[in-house]
Amino acid sequence: MIDRRSSPAFLVLSAALLLPWGAASAQGVDEAAATALMKKSGCLKCHAVSAKKDGPSFQETAAKFKGKADAEQKLRAFITTSPKIKVDGKEEEHEALKSKEDAAIKNVVQYILTR
């Protein structure tokens, strides 16, 4: 009989489940959670990973902040405090993430910065 608990797939799965969800580092971004929260918040109407829509692509933003020590802080503020922006020449408030949860916000920031 095969001991399923020593199979590689089981070990990988266990390791994934043991990772604390909030500990989103550059390596540990929960992409599904980031995308789901941005979808729920309406972000993807104006942003995509590589294509420019009304807003810059996430790759463009990642490049803009690459190597900047205050990148996380700046982006966090941008996507939680509804700053004024211009869309098609018309001033409006930038959409804020529909979450107050620190770990979830951080996960989205890291998702964007690592595109």
Considering only 1-9, 13-21, 24-32, 89-97, which stretch makes contact with ligand HEC by CB under 6 A? 89-97
| Binding-site member from 43, 71, 104, 105 for ligand HEC (CB under 6 A) | 43
> For ligand HEC, which is the closer residue by CB, 28 or 48?
48
Q: Is residue 29 part of the contact set for ligand HEC (CB under 6 A)?
A: no
Residue 14 CB, nearest distance to ligand HEC (Å)? 32
Q: Is residue 105 part of the contact set for ligand HEC (CB under 6 A)?
A: no
Cβ–Cβ < 8 Å for 103, 19: no
